[in-house]
Structure 1
Amino acid sequence: MTSFDQAGSAPRPQSLMLTFFGVHTLGRDVALSGGSLIEVLGQAGITEDAVRSTLTRMVKRGLLERHRRGRKTYFGPTERATRVLRDGHDRIWHTGAVNRDWDGTWTLVGFSLPEAWRRERHDLRSRLVWNGFGPLQSGLWVAAGAVDVPEVVAGLGLDAHLRVFQGAAAAGPTDARTVLRTAFAVESIAKGYETFLARWSADEEETDPANALVRQLLLHTDWLEQVRQDPHLPAEHLPEDWPAADAEERFHALARRFEEPARREAASALDVIPVAGSSA
């Protein structure tokens, strides 16, 4: 079976857990039994203790909520987790990995926070990275396209410390390729896609694979990791051999191949109950 270990890195239990909920509960208003999660994630190489501790941690972080039915405990995504799952779904299936529609606009965010505000600085940078920003220089971050920054930083309480601009870069020292090379790890992003292609090449010819449920879980987790690391840079300013399009085509082919056998496995393997809606 394809495994992250073949490339020297293993998926984090929480990443696998979120992927699993995203594929099998998003839009359904259901919760999964702890036993089901232990069984499926165990096939992906995650120990029972690791699954239990991850579930407990995700409940404490407000990502999952418990539902008890008799002696069984079920877990479903909270509204907060559902927003995260929907964002991941949209990035995979709607935004895509290749940005062919850039209009030349850049969004810049400048900030200066007190030295003691380490947590606030970490939270802000995490939000910026997640939304396609890279550090252009100290205290100045940039993203390709028009980004709704108030939405990005909502709830952080840092509005008074931010300066936001949108516009086009001048020619010469601030041309688009220079901005990309300065603010973003372009080579590292490309390497991620190349690694994805190499990792999943062995599954390309299989039509109805065994262990499709776990393969689907690993595939989607791996691809979402690539998408999260990619700030959706304008394709016209990237190298001609940029591997994102080939990697996305491979993902789509395998996702289609795994979908039906994984659905059948899930129908027989998962202990599911309906719960009050968090999918809307």
Structure 2
Amino acid sequence: MRGFEPAPQGLVLTLLGAYLEPRESAEVWSGGLVRLLGEFGFSPGAARVALNRLVGRDLLARTRDGRHVHYALTPRTITVLAEGDRRIFSLGRSARAETTWTVLWHAIPEERRLARTRLVRRLRFLGFGPVQDGTWLAPHDREHEVATLLAEHDVTEYAGVLLGRPATAVDFAVFVTRVWDLAELAAHYESFVDRFRRHTATDDREALLLRTRLVHTFREFPFLDPELPADLVPPPRHRAEALALFHDLYPALAEPARRYFDHATSMR
């Protein structure tokens, strides 16, 4: 599919998140993962580098059985994937009215920049947008999730969190357009619909390729869509169509896609 150019490490996590079961105990043969990455255009060398880097980031655990290498998800990755499932599969499923908002301030020092980078990515996935350097805003009560993230990255001492509601004396709808680019968000939803609405799969291999591209592309929406309250701004154009397409196509392709994953990762 033209226009699909994922990073190999991210694609590995998409594949394992979609097909490896049970996540807590299952292992997958390294040769099978290399074979699957090859289906998406990655060389064996690039695939092995990606797997090694995921191990180095504590996102995969490597085990050996004689000459064969297998990979399993680490507890950190299992947690991240579960968080991702909640955001991906609940995104836009019900209209949201006025709600509690979360403001996060942080002043994480430069020597902790890796923790800061990882925190920021997770904040975006939870619907936070940047107000200014070190200040983030989300139209949700994220007290529990933020506390967990700060503790996970050992940066609690550098942050503060406030829950509240926007004042009615000013036009807050205008302000949020400076935090989130709502026109760009609508364009992303439109592009998703245009890309996937006419695609079908005629065999198990095509089902895996299409389903993986579908979910890998869709999982970017939690980073982009804060799910603003409907009484503040209208829902993004094309979101309803994109959600319907995803929730119809993703389960419809599950069985043949899983068969091909099992076939490709088999050592037989």
TM range (shorter): 0.7 to 0.9
The structural deviation recorded for 1:236 is 3.8
CA–CA separation in structure 2 for the residues paired with 1:36 and 1:209:
16
CA contact (8 A) 2:30 2:69 kept: yes
Aligned CA-pair RMSD: 2.5
1:132 has 2:150 as partner: no
The structure showing larger relative contact order (alpha-carbon pairs under 8 Å, at least 6 residues apart) is: 1
Alpha-carbon distance in structure 2 between the residues aligned to 1:243 and 1:141: 26
Match of 2:176 in 1: 180
Tell me if the contact between 1:98 and 1:244 (Cα under 8 Å) persists in the aligned partners. Answer: no
Would you say the 8 A contact 1:107–1:145 is kept in 2? yes
1:117: Cα distance to partner? Answer: 5.7
| Paired residues of 1:102 and 1:145 also in contact (CA < 8 A) | no
Alpha-carbon distance between aligned partners in 2 of 1:12 and 1:115, rounded to the nearest angstrom: 26
Are 1:37 and 2:36 matched, yes or no? no
Q: For 1:196, which of 180, 189, 192 is the aligned residue?
A: 192
- C-alpha distance 214-236 of structure 1, shift in aligned 2 (>3 A): same
Q: Deviations over 1:183-234 (max 9, x none)?
A: 1122222222111111112215x57675212222211111112233322322
Q: What's the TM-score once normalised by structure 2's chain length? A: 0.87
Q: Structure 2: which 5+ residue stretches go unaligned? A: none
1:267 aligns with 2:265: no
Structure 1 residues 268 and 151: CA distance shift in structure 2, 3 A:
same
Whole-angstrom CA distance in 2 between matches of 1:186 and 1:99: 19
% identity of equivalent residues: 31
Which among 155, 162, 171 is matched to residue 168 of structure 2? 171
Aligned to 2:43: 47
Once residues 232 and 94 of structure 2 are traced to their aligned partners in structure 1, the CA distance between those partners, rounded to angstroms, is: 10
Q: TM-score, normalised on structure 1?
A: 0.84
Give the Å deviation of 1:250.
0.7
2:232 corresponding residue in structure 1: 237
SS in 2 for 1:153: helix
2:20 equivalent to 1:21: no
Count the aligned residue pairs: 265
Is the Cα–Cα contact under 8 Å of residues 136 and 179 in structure 1 kept in the other structure? no
Q: Distance in 1 between matches of 2:235 and 2:155?
A: 39
Aligned mate of 1:71, from 44, 67, 71: 67
SS at match of 2:170: helix
Give the Å deviation of 1:12: 1.0
Once the two structures are TM-superposed, the CA of residue 120 in structure 1 deviates from its matched residue by 5.0
Q: Partner letter of residue 265 of structure 1? A: Y
Gapped regions of structure 1 (runs ≥ 5): 273-280
- 1: CA distance, partners of 2:134 / 2:252: 45
Q: CA deviation at 1:242?
A: 2.1
Helix, strand or coil: the match of 1:75?
Answer: strand
Aligned to 2:241: 246
Residue equivalent to 2:91: 96
Q: Aligned equivalents of 2:124 and 2:85: distance in 1? A: 18
Is it true that 1:256 corresponds to 2:251 in the alignment?
yes
Q: Which moved more, 1:17-26 or 1:48-57?
A: 17-26
On the 8 A contact 1:107/1:166 being kept in 2, the answer is yes
Aligned equivalents of 2:56 and 2:134: distance in 1?
Answer: 33
